[in-house]
Chains A and B, each alone.
Chain A
Amino acid sequence: MSASGDSAVAFRGVGKRFDDWVFRGVDLALPAKRTSAIVGESGCGKTTLLQLVNAVLRPDEGSVEVLGGGVPDAGLEAFRRRIGYAVQGAGLFPHLTLVENVSLLARLERWEVDVVNARVGELFQLVGLTRDLDDRYPHELSGGQQHRAGLCRALMLKPDMLLLDEPFSAIDPITRVDIYGEFETLQGHERVTTVLVTHDIREARRLADYLVVMGGGGVVQAGEVDEVVSSPASDQVKRLLESGA
């Protein structure tokens, strides 16, 4: 974990509290154009950390640098549109159809209809959705289809960075393997800086280059996946790695 020059996200002494501190003194540098996975037990602050990146939450101490700069005070919306975000549990808008959900931002950006349509087609193909689902409302889609749609929505504007909060958790193991394949194709295709939150260490090892282990109110270990696997920093990390062996 060196060279903050090619890091896309840098945390410096970051702490965040709601009632109690979720974590304090987090120093992190996530590599650009690669996939970082954040793992840790439920409630350790993974989602919170992710939301500090796109400034949905603000740190109570320390600073967060994203895409080579601080989080801007003005023009937050433009900043956030450069960061695709797939929320834990898909979070599609129930009053919009699949294609309306996916294309909402592009339409607000006044993209040409043809361009929007082409991009939707491209993304659907990438994640394995078919166009006959275009006009279905979210409740008419399977959980897996909803997650894929959430992924497409996050990718729609060709963002500089992608934040994925347990995007595959609601998907059955067989389908999940398919989607891993699609995700890898996607990474090969678009090469976006990706931060992936997951419970599943196997998923992290398969999809990520860089691994962040959280727990006990902070970051336990962070480094290249191979590095962490070969020399776990604590028993806790070792147990975590073994859970997915």
Chain B
Amino acid sequence: MNRVVGATLAVARLRQCKVSFGRHENARAFSKRARRARRDGTSPSPTTLALIWAVVAASSAIAADEPIVVASKNFTEAYILGEALAQLLENEGFEVDRKIGLGGTKICYDALVEGDVDVYVEYTGTIAEAIKDIDGEPTREKIAAALAPDSVEMLGDFGFNNTYALAVPRQVADERGLARISDLPDHPDLRMAVSHEFLERPDGWPGLQRLYGIEEVPAGIEHALAYEALADGSIDLTDAYSTDGELKRYDLEVLADDRGFFPVYLAVPLVRVDLDARAKSVLRRVAGTLDDAEMSDLNAAAVFGGRSTESIAASYLVDKGLLGTDADADVALPQDSLVGRLSRNTGRHLFLVAAAVLPATLVAVGLALAIFKLPWFSRGAVYIAGLMQTIPSIALLALLIPLVGIGWLPAVIALFLYALLPILRNAVTALTSIEPTLRRVAVAMGLKPAEELRHVFVPLAMPSIVAGVRTATVICIGTATLAAFIGAGGLGDPIVKGLALNDTRLILEGAIPAALLAVVTELVFEQVERWLVPGHLRSSNTAAATG
């Protein structure tokens, strides 16, 4: 239970990080090296080449019928735009596989490069800074040239610029005649408070202050509180993103960046170069369809209007006439009942957990027996399994993407690795603490190695093995909620989406079943223990539960 809640909180924390740093992160190294290493690997033999050619030929033959994978990053705006692209393609008769809310920049871009994703919406500023490290003014040409080696193409931008902005209540702006950032030095009495991060970043306040010659230093404020502070009149100015839904909701005016200090963050569909040409031309239709205020309206509709991103995306497409010339433009939304979603997500979740824990049990018990029989083997194996456990789940998931792509496979692999240690540790401890007398009796009786395992060692270790599997399963139920970040689905899906949309109901739609699942797991394992372990040897009877 605790673990599930813990993992849910971890998701929440991660989400907050993404909200504040998502589009402006400065990660440079990336997986360039990993990809290069793979490209430069030992040259394959002619047979391998022939095989690869055959596979490639075969798969490109099916490619025409394969769905187009539409992904998106995981914040409100990205959900809406990703969903809009998906509906647009579907309306044109393409089959679409949605990976909406797939993850942050690295996960989405890597998935695109690896071919696991065909299209997602990225921001030019992010491409220039975080993905490609482009020097100087990031022009379209420079960006396109930087993306080309990855077989990635940038289509026309949506029209709005989602960058940093300084916002003041409309009333204050009107009273003081404030319209541009260069007006600020004339209003030294303005009560300014900006987010701590913005206050520190060189491309935030310090640079802005120098360029515009502002002398006052704003106070730092938690971003989430800033809008309320503006609304109740305790501050007059804060930083925001220029398409935030809050701008509309709190009736704020954005001061014009008249000296062009903030980098430009145009939203562009990134597609794989080999994407179907007609699909590309359909996607080009979104270019120039939204300005900052309109995007802000759409975001507000999701965050404050309580509308689903699907229906917001649909009305955007209809309003802008993007659904072709057909009159019957009402998009068939995937109408999904709560029960349907719940059972699909829970089923997926169970699949992820079972596909990880079952093999982990076999491998861990096998390893434990090997360790037991070959003690020199033991330190290394337990050490490595322990090491696996210390890799943060999100990092492990991200590390797996270049190796196995996105979706359920990397999630199951990660969960498998996490499940290994508790089972292994429990089994090894139990086996090595079997009384020496009993081990000697087993030998002296003339039991064969297999009989020894089957009739003595495994049954004696069984209570601990069951407890280990139980712990591992509960850990996995919690951790599997993170799998939604790499498109694996499950109960993390509504949680991630709910956090992005600030929708508590959606968060609970994932968190409650996950917690219930953990409880049910405990009950199921109590029953399993009853089958496998005689009463006086059950862990629940001999010692207080440990985990």
Interface mask (B181-220 → A, CB under 8 Å = 1, otherwise 0): 0000000000000000000000000000000000000000
Residue A218 CB within 8 A of the other chain: no
| B290 CB, nearest partner CB in chain A, Å | 69
Whether the Cβ atoms of B446 and A76 lie closer than 8 Å is: yes
Contact of B534 among A83, A91, A105, A137 (CB under 8 A): A137
- Residues A77 and B537 in contact, CB atoms below 8 Å apart: no
A85 interface residue (CB < 8 Å to B)? yes
* Contact yes or no, A91 B447, CB < 8 A: no
Chain A residues closer than 8 Å to B451, beta-carbon distance: 108
- A96 to B460: give the CA distance in the assembly, Å: 10
Which parts of A26-81 form the interface with B (CB within 8 Å)?
Answer: 51, 54, 56, 76-81
* B440/A56 in contact, CB under 8 A: yes
User: Within B452-466, which residues are at the interface with A (CB < 8 Å)?
Assistant: 455-456, 459-460, 462
Q: Per a CB cutoff under 8 Å, which of A76, A78, A87 touches B441?
A: A87
Q: Choose from A88, A89, A95 the contact partner of B460 (Cβ within 8 Å).
A: A95
B327 at the interface (CB under 8 A from A): no
How far does the alpha carbon of A105 sit from the alpha carbon of B452 in the complex, in Å?
A: 11
Judge if B445 is at the interface, Cβ distance under 8 Å. yes
Q: Is the CB of A91 within 8 A of B437?
A: yes
**Which chain A positions have C-beta within 8 A of B534?**
95, 137
**Using Cβ atoms and an 8 Å threshold, which residues of chain A touch B537?**
94-95
Q: Point out the residues of chain B lying under 8 angstroms from A77, CB to CB.
A: 446-448
B536 pairs with A51, CB closer than 8 A: no
Whole-angstrom distance from the CB of A161 to the nearest CB of chain B? 12
Interchain CA distance A80-B443 in the complex, whole Å: 8
B residues in contact with A51, CB < 8 Å: 440, 444
Say yes or no: is A139 at the interface (Cβ < 8 Å to chain B): yes
What are the residues of chain A within 8 A of B536 when measuring CB–CB?
94, 137, 139
CB distance from B464 to the nearest CB of A (A): 12
Interface residues of A in 133-165 (CB under 8 A from B): 137, 139, 153
Inter-subunit contact B459/A87 (CB<8 Å): no
CA gap between A56 and B445 in the complex, in Å: 10
Which of B445, B460, B462 sits near A105, CB closer than 8 Å? B445
Q: Mark interface residues in A164-189 (1 if CB within 8 Å of B CB, else 0).
A: 00000000000000000000000000
Chain A, range 96-117, C-beta contacts under 8 Å to B: 96, 104-105, 108
A85 to B442, CA, bound (A): 10
Residue of A whose beta carbon sits closest to that of B449: A77
Give the one of A54, A78, A95, A153 with max B CB within 10 A.
A95
B240 to chain A minimum Cβ distance, whole angstroms, is 66
A21 at the B interface (CB under 8 A): no
Within 8 A of A (CB), among B397-438: 437-438
- Chain A residues whose C-beta falls within 8 Å of the C-beta of B459 in the assembled complex: 93, 95-96
Residues of B within 8 A of A (CB): 437-438, 440-441, 443-448, 451, 455-456, 459-460, 462, 533-534, 536-537
Given contacts A54-B444, A137-B536, 16 further A-B contacts (CB under 8 A): A56-B440, A56-B443, A76-B446, A77-B447, A80-B445, A87-B437, A88-B437, A93-B438, A93-B456, A95-B459, A95-B460, A96-B459, A104-B445, A105-B445, A108-B455, A137-B534
